Structure 1
């Protein structure tokens, strides 16, 4: 299966039986991101968390306040 990264537009080949390929095929709302972009975003997010000015807005539970 040919997939294209949503950030850098590189085209990669996934095995048709891979779990990610099945997820992309069955749920079109999911998008593909290459490993380089995924690692870059993870590194930048970790750097933002380390500054102390980063806040998660996913839920309003007390778990976020403990984080």
Structure 2
């Protein structure tokens, strides 16, 4: 299955029997993000959390306490 990263627009090939490929086929609302973009977004999010100005807008206080 050919998929396109939503951030960098590169095309990747996924095996058809992967659970991710099935999820993308059956539920079009799900999007694909390549590993490089996923790592970049994760690193930038951790940097923003470390500044102290990042605020979670979630209803779960347990999730906020873990950070």
TM-score (norm 1): 0.88
The change in CA–CA distance for 1:36 and 1:65 in structure 2 (over 3 A counts) is: closer
**Partners in 2 of 1:29 and 1:65 — Cα distance?**
27
1:49 is matched with which residue?
49
- Paired positions, count: 66
User: What is the aligned partner in structure 2 of residue 5 from structure 1?
Assistant: 5
Is contact 2:8-2:37 (8 Å) kept? Answer: yes
Distance in 2, matches of 1:20 and 1:38, equals 15
Quick check: 1:3–1:13 contact (8 Å CA) kept in 2?
yes
Distance 1:48 1:11, change over 3 A: same
**Residues 52, 3 of structure 1: alpha-carbon distance in 2 compared, 3 angstrom cutoff:** same
